[in-house]
Structure formats: C-alpha cells, structure tokens
Amino acid sequence: MFRYIQRIVSYVSSRIRLKIILPFALLTLMVAVTGTYLSTRLVAGSLEERFTGQLFEAGKAVADGLAQREQLHLSTARVIAFTTGIDESLLSNNQTQLQNLLFPIMVNNNIDRVDMINADGLPLLAIHRTPGTNAIEDYMITTANLADMPIVNKVLQGVVDARGDKYTTLATIDGYEMLLTAGPVKQEDQIIGVVLVGSYIQNLLNSFKQIIFTDVSLYDLEGQLIGTTIPGGGETPAALAMTPTETRLLLALEGETSPQKSISVGENEYDLIYSIFWARGAPLGFYSVATPTTFIVSQGTNARNQMVIIFTTALLMVFGIGYVMSSRITGRLHHLMENAMAVADGDFTRRTQISTNDEIGSLARSLDYMTESLANYTHALQDKIDELITLHESSTAVTIKSNLNLDQVLQAIIASVRGVIRNTDQVIIYLLDEKNQTLIPKASAPQAPHSFPMLAFGEQNGERGLLAATRPQVISVSNLASYSPGAFSANGITDILVTSLIAGQEIIGMLIFTPAGNQPPAELLNKDSERLLRTLANQAAIAIKNAQLFEATQRAYQELQQLDDLKTEFINIAAHELRTPLGAMMGYASFAQKRVPPNLQKTMNFLVVSTLRMRTMVDAMLTIQRLDAGKAFLRLNSVDIQKTIRKTVTDFQPMAELAGHIIVANLPDELPPIEADAEKIDLIFSNLLSNAIKFTPEDGHIQVTLQDYGESILLSVRDNGVGIAKENQERIFERFYQVRVAHLAGHSGMGIGLTTVKHLVELHGGQVWVESEVGQGSTFFITLPKTTADNSRNTPALTSAEFQLIEPETSVIPV
Ligand code: ADP
C-alpha cells in the first residue's frame, strides 16, 4: 500500500503538468464536496423547518375546522329545535312538514345528514346526501335508523352535564364514518324529540385538505383510522394506525404537544403530527396532518445534483484549462530539453526559437547563448588540439624518427615547418659555426643548401642583430651580412621570414622562409602559425643541439676507443717481448744472488724482487690479453695448495723484507689437494701478496690464511696497510682502475692485477671480495672449489704458442 502511494507520489512529482493541475483540482474538489454538502443541507434544513411549521399550522387549522364543524352541528341542531313548526310536526309525526322545514336549514348550513327522532325513540325522518356530493338535489330521504345511538338515548333521557344537553360522537353509518351531534327538541321544557346532525368524515377531511394543502387523517380513541386523505388503497389504514402507546401518550399529554413521526405509505414518505380531536371538552378521537417528505428529499437531491453538476463542470474546466496551460508550458520545456540534448550531442547549430517574455523565454535565450559560447569554445579547443597534434607529429618526427642523426634531424625540421607554414618556396636551416663565426646553410628544400650563401655572424646577424629577436620577423635580404650578397637576389628573393634557433640561452642558427610566388612574406604568418612556428623553432633548436652533442660525444668515444686499442696493442707486444728475457733475468738474478759478496746482497735482493714484480705484471698483462682474445683456459691438475702458497710466500719474502714487513702464513696441516690450474693459482696469490706488500707502509704485518671451506677452500690475505674506501671497493676489480693514495704516490702498477685475479678466480668457479677500512688495512678473500667444473675440456688442447710462454719457470727461483 505504502509502496503504491510512493509510486503515485513519484509519478506526480515527475510531471510538471500534474504538479500544476493537481493542487487546483484538489482545491476545487474540496470546495465542491463542502459546497454540495452545505447547500444540500441548507436546502433540506430550510425546507424541513418550513415544512414542520406548516405541519403545525395545518394541525391548528384542522383543530379549528373540527371545532367549527362541531359548532355548526350544535348551531344547526339548535336552529332546527327552535324552528317553528318542528315541534308540532314531531308531535304529529308529520314527515312532509318536517321535510319542508328541514331542507332549507340543511342546504343553508351545508349539512350532510339530519335525523329526526320522536320522544318515543322512533325515527320520523332522515335526510342525507351521499358522501362526496354537494348539490341540493343530492339530498334524499333515508331509512337508516339512528334512534338506538347512545347519544340519542342520552338526549331523550334528558341527561344534562356541565356542557349542556347536546352530545357528539363518531359513528359508522351505511359504511361511512360520520361525526354526529344530537340535541333535544323541546316544547315547554318537555323533550318531544331528538335532532341528529351529521357530517361525513371523509367530506370533512377533504375540505380541510383543500384549505390547508395537507393530508389529514382521523382516528378513534383506540387509534384506529377512521378516515384519511392520503391515497394508497388497502395498506393505508394499517400504515397510519396509531399504536396504543401513542394514543395513551397523546391522551396523557392532553394535546399540549403534538408528537411527530415519519411513516411510509406505498412509495411515499410522510411526516405526521398527531393531536387530540376534542369535542365538548373531551377527547373524541385523534387527528393527524401529514405532508409527503419525498419532495424534501427530492429537493435536497435536486440541490445536490445541481451542485454536483456545477462543481463537476468546474472541475472539468480546471482540468481542461490546467491541462491546456500546463501543456503549453511543458511543451516548451520539452522543446528546450530536446534542444539541450541535441547540443549535448554536438549539434551547435540548434537554437530554441522561443521568443516569449516569460521565464521560459529567458531560459531559452540563456540556452541559446550557452550553445553559442559552447560552439565558440569547442572551435577554439579544436584549433588548439589540431595545433597540438601538428606539434606532436612534428616533434616526433624531429626527435624520435630522426634518430639523433643531425642530417636526419635537419630534414625532419624542414619537413615539419613546411607543414606548418604553408605557401613557402624555400626553407633553409643555417647553423652557427662558432669557430669561424659563420652561419652556414646546412639543410634546405626544395633547393640544395649550396645554392645559398654563407652569412657572417657579426653585429648585423649575430646576438645583437637579427638573431636576438625571439619572434619570427620579416626582413629584406639586403639587411643580411652575406659573404656573397648577390646569392639571394640571384634566386629572385628580396624579402625573407627569419626565426632564430635558440637552445637554452645559446643561438645555434636560424630558419629562413621565402614565400611562394609574389606573396609578401608577412602573409606567411598568422597569429596561430606564428605561435606554432616559435614552438617548433624551440623544439628544433633543442633537437639540433642534442644531435650536435651526440655527434661530438660519438667522436670523442671513437677517439678514446682508438687510444684504448693502441694501449692494449702496446701492452700485448710489450708483454710478449718482455716475458722471455724476464725469465732469463730472473734465473740469472737468483743464481747471482747466492754468489755475490755480502755487501752486494741487498742490491742483489732488490734485483730479484724487482724482476719477480715485473714478471707478475707481465703475466697479468698476458692473462688479460688472453681473456680479451677468448683464449684463456685452465690446465687442471691436482694441486697441493699449501705447497703452492708456501712457495709464493717464499718468493715474495725478499720483497716483504725490503719494506720491513712480516708475512705470517696460517696453513692447515691436513688439506687434500684441490683440482686447479697451479700456475694460475700462483698468479692469483702473487698479485694479492704483491698488492698487500705494496699498499702497506713500512714495517707492516701481512697474514695469509688458508681454510677448509666445505666444498671449497678459503684463502685470505690480510694487511694493515692504507685500506680502501667503501666507494672504491667494487671498482678496484675493474681494468686499469687505481686508487691514488697520497703517501704511496709513485708506486708501480697498471691497475690490471685485481682484474686478472677476479677473472682467474671466476674461471675456477670461485669468488673474490674485499673487506677493508681506510687506514686500518684490507683483507682479500678468495674461494676456490675443491673440484673445479672443467672449463678447459671444451677448449683447444695445449698447442697454443702463447701458452708455452707461461711454462713454469719458478723452479729456477731459489727458495
Ligand atoms: P695495481 O696494483 O697495478 O695498481 P691492481 O688491480 O692490483 O692494480 O689494484 C688496483 C688498485 O686496488 C690499486 O691501485 C690499489 O689502489 C688498490 N689495492 C689493491 N690491493 C690493495 C691493498 N691490499 N691495500 C690497499 N689497496 C689495494
């Protein structure tokens, strides 16, 4: 239910038309309901009031009418009694005379019936007319005998009460209800007969109805209906009959108030009031007056129907007018909405075409204005996007596709500026040759660069002249300081468009455009293309600068490469050439060392040590050379590592002694031989030991340690020398890298010892690293696997001439 209401509310709230109409419709409906209710009530209420008043009036009129009729009966009885001749006719039973005497009286008083009864109670004459008739001719003599009626007897017996000697009663005679009054006819106070005056009840009631326009009914004291003017056939008496309670209540009230009640007879509704029918001061029966209420109801209904029609019409008009009005509003809103949607879809030509002065008109104008602004903005934006796309394409062409090659960069620049600045004839790029202070045409299209003159980069064209301007400008060629001024003119060019090429703060050249045909060069530029050209010129300048730098770097690199090649070649030759004589020198020096007199011993020692150091260096150089040539390989043997180390230590002992160092070797007693290349192990260890001696100031302490390291052996060489700074610890293994230490300035070496060590250790499948602190000393560690993965197996057999050169010669060195 709630959801249902919610749905209705949301439906209404989503439609302006309903929002406009509904409040008015609801208001009208409320007024309609209230108005109909009130007017119906007013009509019915006033009618009812009037009706009740009328009913009471009618009641009174009926009471008066009945009283008058009784009076008429009494007076008529009295007239008859006192009419001369009546007594005699009564006494003589002269019916004819009686008849003659009575007729005029009856006609005059409009009496329905008169009966004359003599003192003996015998009916002498009865004259009556049938109910509903009125004419004189209708009177007739009747035979009905009313002598036995109680009131007749009462009169005959001379009964007299406070109200006199006449009595009234209701009776049914010949099937007709009648009101009868009996009075005495006297002769000298002697009752000689009775006169009975009667009126038909129905006649009486009909005459009342004619006067008071109200239905009248009469009841006996039991409440049974005696007569009524209400039509309705057989069911009327039953419907109208009073209940005993009602009769008792009415009698108890003695007619002070008149009870009211509603009944229905047949199809009609009636409102009645009851009252007592008094005769001679006593109740003789009851009467009621009744008015049909159907007309009140129908009047109320009529009033309500009228109201319903009026208000329905009003409601329909509210709906109709509201619908038309709101449709006009919502129709225009709908139109606006469609317009807005079309604009949103990109149709900027749409206009609302609403020109009213109301709020919707204002809204429409605002919308049109907005569409126009939007169109302008979009066009501006599109132009910018096109510009950016051009820039992007040209910068991609200049920087990426040209691949840092200066010629390609220049060609790309020419292609892209020709795309931006249309209607050009020649596009020329001049680059500055700083050394000669000249602007040289490096690239151009469509003519080749050599068709254009070189220009001087002086006062006129240089930083303070033409190229100082950052914006493109149009100048006459005569303003250029040219080495051959006629060159431009020879091509028929008089005016040109110039843009300087500036990378950072530096002028690197300029771009020159000449217009096609006879067009003035200023026509080449508009605001947008000028901005684009400036941006392009900046990009081009940077791209040219980068390409120039790249070329310079490449040149420098090539020079360095050549130098490096020369050095390597020199080392190779030197090493090859030195190795053999060195071997001989070492042999002889060792031999002589043992035989010189003691005063020459020190000199001899120095000679041996120097030769050893030289040989280590030459071996390192040769190793490097072989590594470079891809010819290095291992010759694996079972190597007694302790023995190898002990021998090398012994070799370097004289060198250590010369520097005042002590070498301590911690070698384990038991260490099985390892699979390695003994000569290379010697070279590795020699380099490490040589460095330790070299980079330790005098009287140092060098410790060599060999340990079993599971699958490998771990060899360390510790010194308490100068140490190596953290940032150099990686780099010392690079080729030719040397750390310059001030107080060790002048030490020999080429910076290839550790490179050799690293390569050889790695060739064995081991590792090398250093731990060191400046001023504290260094420890170099190497691990060598006990079983080396055989790298040499796949390498050529030992036939290489080079390798013969490192045949062991250490045996000649005396230990
Ligand atoms: P060289 O000894 O010929 O200079 P190396 O490759 O053997 O070349 O060594 C490279 C550099 O490493 C040396 O110049 C030196 O600065 C540093 N270095 C090598 N060994 C030590 C060490 N034990 N103590 C301090 N510095 C060392």
Cis check: omega of the bond before 814, within 30 degrees of 0: no
Q: Which atom of ligand 1 is nearest to the CA of 617?
A: 3
Of 701, 754, 768, 769, the residue with max ligand 1 atoms within 8 A of its CB, to mutate for a pocket test, comes to 754
Q: How far is the CA of 723 from the centre of ligand 1 (A)?
A: 10
What value does the mean pLDDT take over residues 439-457? 87
Q: Report residue 742's pLDDT band, with 50, 70 and 90 as the boundaries.
A: low
Q: Report residue 325's pLDDT band, with 50, 70 and 90 as the boundaries.
A: confident
Beta-bridge partners for 767 = 783
Instruction: Check residue 144 and give its pLDDT.
Output: 77
Q: How far is the CA of 692 from the centre of ligand 1 (A)?
A: 8
Instruction: Check residue 258 and give its pLDDT.
Output: 77
Mean pLDDT of the chain: 84
Q: Please check the confidence at residue 807 and state whether its pLDDT lies above 70.
A: no
614 vs 674: which has the higher pLDDT: 674
What value does the mean pLDDT take over residues 767-777? 95
Of 621, 663, 716, 732, the residue with max ligand 1 atoms within 8 A of its CB, to mutate for a pocket test, comes to 732
Instruction: Check residue 813 and give its pLDDT.
Output: 28
Instruction: Check residue 167 and give its pLDDT.
Output: 92
Instruction: Check residue 812 and give its pLDDT.
Output: 28
Q: Report residue 424's pLDDT band, with 50, 70 and 90 as the boundaries.
A: confident
Q: Report residue 800's pLDDT band, with 50, 70 and 90 as the boundaries.
A: very low
For ligand 1, residues with CB inside 6 Å are 687, 691-692, 695, 719, 721-722, 724, 732, 737-739, 749-755, 778
Q: Which atom of ligand 1 is nearest to the CA of 754?
A: 6
Q: How far is the CA of 706 from the centre of ligand 1 (A)?
A: 21
Alpha-carbon dihedral sign for residues 566, 568, 572, 575: positive
Q: Which atom of ligand 1 is nearest to the CA of 721?
A: 24
Instruction: Check residue 483 and give its pLDDT.
Output: 67
Q: How far apart are the first and last CA of the chain?
A: 115
Instruction: Check residue 466 and give its pLDDT.
Output: 80
Closest Cα to residue 759, out of 612, 613, 583, 623? 623
What value does the mean pLDDT take over residues 701-724? 94
What value does the mean pLDDT take over residues 271-275? 87
Q: Please check the confidence at residue 125 and state whether its pLDDT lies above 50.
A: yes
Q: How far is the CA of 662 from the centre of ligand 1 (A)?
A: 19
Q: How far is the CA of 740 from the centre of ligand 1 (A)?
A: 9
Instruction: Check residue 805 and give its pLDDT.
Output: 30
Instruction: Check residue 484 and give its pLDDT.
Output: 67
Q: Please check the confidence at residue 456 and state whether its pLDDT lies above 60.
A: yes
- Tell me, rounded to whole angstroms, the distance of Cα 25 from its chain centroid: 35
- In angstroms, the CA 207 to CA 198 distance is 15
Residue bearing the CA closest to ligand 1, atom 18: 691
Query: Which residues are CB-neighbours of 22 under 8 A, at least 6 positions away?
Result: 12
Residue bearing the CA closest to ligand 1, atom 2: 749
- In angstroms, the CA 127 to CA 140 distance is 5
Instruction: Check residue 793 and give its pLDDT.
Output: 41
Q: Which atom of ligand 1 is nearest to the CA of 751?
A: 8
431 vs 265: which has the higher pLDDT: 431
Q: Please check the confidence at residue 464 and state whether its pLDDT lies above 90.
A: no
What value does the mean pLDDT take over residues 290-318? 81
Q: Please check the confidence at residue 303 and state whether its pLDDT lies above 90.
A: no
Q: How far is the CA of 560 from the centre of ligand 1 (A)?
A: 24
Q: What percent of the chain has pLDDT over 70?
A: 93
Q: What are phi and psi of 263, to 5 degrees?
A: -135, 170
Amino acid, res. 605: N
Label the pairing between strands 662-666 and 674-676. unpaired
Q: Please check the confidence at residue 214 and state whether its pLDDT lies above 80.
A: yes
Q: What is the pLDDT of residues 162-173, one digit of tens each?
A: 888 899 999 998
What value does the mean pLDDT take over residues 239-253? 87
Q: Report residue 746's pLDDT band, with 50, 70 and 90 as the boundaries.
A: low
What value does the mean pLDDT take over residues 238-243? 84
Closest Cα to residue 405, out of 445, 452, 450, 443? 443
Q: Report residue 691's pLDDT band, with 50, 70 and 90 as the boundaries.
A: very high
352-356, 394-398, 491-495, 743-747: which range is least confident on average? 743-747
Q: Is 476 left (phi over 0), alpha (psi -120 to 50) or beta?
A: beta
Q: What is the pLDDT of residues 606-646, one digit of tens each?
A: 888 888 888 888 888 888 888 877 777 888 999 999 999 99
Q: What is the pLDDT of residues 555-600, one digit of tens each?
A: 999 999 998 788 778 877 887 888 888 888 888 888 888 888 888 8
Q: What is the pLDDT of residues 137-176, one digit of tens each?
A: 888 888 778 888 999 999 999 888 888 889 999 999 888 9
Strand order in the sheet with 712-718: 662-666, 701-709, 712-718, 777-785, 767-773
Instruction: Check residue 178 and give its pLDDT.
Output: 92
Q: How far is the CA of 780 from the centre of ligand 1 (A)?
A: 11
Residue bearing the CA closest to ligand 1, atom 14: 738
Q: Please check the confidence at residue 183 and state whether its pLDDT lies above 90.
A: yes
Residue bearing the CA closest to ligand 1, atom 4: 751
Q: How far is the CA of 627 from the centre of ligand 1 (A)?
A: 20
